[in-house]
Amino acid sequence: MGVAIAHAGPAGSYRCWQYNVSGGGGSCRLAPPIVLAPDGTYKESRTEGTYEVKDDTIVFSGSRIRGPGKIVDGNKIRFEYDYNGFHHTVTYLCRDCE
């Protein structure tokens, strides 16, 4: 018997929308998109893998720094993590959800 995996609402291309490092905002418009496929796979630049969703948390198999993200308002993914002594909050907005 297989295990059912729930996927994030609509699949689509999520572009970086907001970026904040320890209280200071920055531009992330050139960041590569996170592309979620309906089959549970994703691609972000050269990183490819699978994703799983449970409640409002999304986990990417290839994420080494960010960790899990939170699904916000059904069309955003927000990551909050500490890296090199700074707190990062990065939000991706779905641009072409199915």
pLDDT in tens, 46-64: 999 999 999 999 999 988 8
User: In this structure, which amino acid lies at residue 13?
Assistant: S
Pairing verdict, β 12-21 and 86-94: antiparallel
- State the pLDDT at residue 15: 96
Domain span at 68: 12-94
- State the pLDDT at residue 79: 97
Number of CB atoms found within 10 A of residue 5's CB: 12
Residue 5 resides in a domain: no
Residue in the structure block whose two tokens are 């995996």: 5
Residue 4 resides in a domain: no
Residue 47 resides in a domain: yes
pLDDT at 2 over 50: no
- State the pLDDT at residue 36: 95
Per-residue confidence band for 98, with pLDDT thresholds at 50, 70 and 90? low
Residue 7 resides in a domain: no
What is the CATH number for 58?
A: 2.40.128
Total domains in the chain come to 1
3-state secondary structure of 18: strand
- State the pLDDT at residue 9: 57
pLDDT in tens, 7-58: 445 689 999 999 999 988 888 989 999 999 999 999 999 999 999 999 999 9
Do 60 and 41 meet the contact criterion of CB atoms below 8 Å apart? no
User: In this structure, which amino acid lies at residue 11?
Assistant: A
Q: Which residues of 44-83 are buried (b: 16+ CB within 10 A; e: fewer)?
A: beeeeeebebeeeebebeebeeeebbebeeebbbbbeeee
Residue 6 resides in a domain: no
